[in-house]
A = this chain, B = another copy of it.
Amino acid sequence: MTHRRAAYFNELDASGVRLLGDRLRPGSDATTVRVRDADVLLADGPFAETKEQIAGFDIIECADLDQAIEVASKHPVATFGAIEVRPFWEE
Residues on A close to B: CB < 8 A? Answer: 1, 20, 22-25, 27, 29-36, 40, 42, 46-50, 52, 54, 56-57, 65, 68-69, 72-73, 78-79, 81-89, 91
Contact = CB atoms under 8 A, between A and B. Distances in A.
A65 B31 contact: yes
The count of identical subunits is 2
Contact of A86 (B29, B79, B81, B83): B29
Contacts of A24: 86-89
Given A22-B88, A27-B86, A34-B81, 6 more contacts: A25-B88, A29-B86, A33-B82, A33-B83, A40-B69, A47-B84
- Between A23, A81, A84, the greatest number of chain B beta carbons within 10 A of the residue's beta carbon is seen for A84
